[in-house]
Amino acid sequence: MLSNKWYDYGKWVAQYILPGAATLYFAVSGIWGLPYQKEIVGSIVAVNVWLSALLAVSNAQWQAVMIDVLKDDTDYVQIPGAPFGLNAFSYNLLKWITLAFLPASGALYFTLATLWRLPLGEQVAATVAAVTAFMGLVLGVSKAKYDQAK
């Protein structure tokens, strides 16, 4: 989860700065014949989608954490002998990485690789998908161990 300061800053950038920059370059490049119109505007939009995905998941996790705090003050406990017993901080961090950062980063690199002809776009996206699936397994086992401990 992001702090309030970083969330507000990121939201401002995603809502105003990046769309404004993409629109400005699109308009000015068409008028003045500047190069790489598709690549630059596409890159800005891809970064904006990446940032927006991170912000959306961070906001959803914050709301989920607040609901959990209000209804139950128990914490994800580290269970001795459990292979993936995670404390609350580790669980929430891995959940944010798995649900937001990895998928958004894979999509961002794949999009930029397509626009700018960067190497290994499909391989990076497939690797990110595999790591995300594994992290989902780790989180699922940790949650199951937590549920058993209750």
Nearest to 54 by CA among 7, 116, 17: 7
Domain ranges of the chain: 4-149
Nearest to 102 by CA among 125, 72, 70: 125
Report the predicted TM-score, pTM, of the whole model to 2 decimal places: 0.66
Residue-wise pLDDT for 59-101, tens only, equals: 766 666 555 544 544 554 454 444 556 677 777 788 888 888 8
HSE-up of residue 50 (Cα within 13 Å, Cβ side) = 20
Residue-wise pLDDT for 4-38, tens only, equals: 888 888 888 988 899 999 999 999 999 999 999 98
